[in-house]
């Protein structure tokens, strides 16, 4: 039992993947937030460009 606990404490492979997952989730939330706040302004700019073309 002790040996199994020692292996779990020393094993770090799963921790790295979890950290990458959290970073990706944070980036996704930030991007969604930015797009939600700037979405209408961005659409207006694209429409302005289309009208000029």
What's residue 43's pLDDT?
85
Per DSSP, the three-state class of 53 is coil
Per DSSP, the three-state class of 12 is coil
pLDDT band, very low/low/confident/very high, at 30 (cuts 50, 70, 90) = very high
What mean pLDDT comes out for the span 7-26?
75
Answering whether pTM is above 0.75, one says no
Does residue 14 have a pLDDT over 90?
A: no
Q: In terms of residue numbers, what domain contains 26?
A: 2-52
What's residue 2's pLDDT?
73
Q: How many domains does the chain have?
A: 1
| Phi–psi pair at 34, nearest 5 degrees | -65, -45
């Amino acid at each position: 039992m002790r040996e199994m606990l020692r292996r779990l404490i020393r094993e770090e492979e799963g921790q790295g993947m979890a950290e990458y997952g959290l970073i990706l989730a944070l980036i996704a939330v930030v991007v969604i937030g930015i797009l939600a706040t700037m979405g209408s302004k961005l659409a207006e700019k694209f429409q302005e460009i289309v009208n000029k073309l």
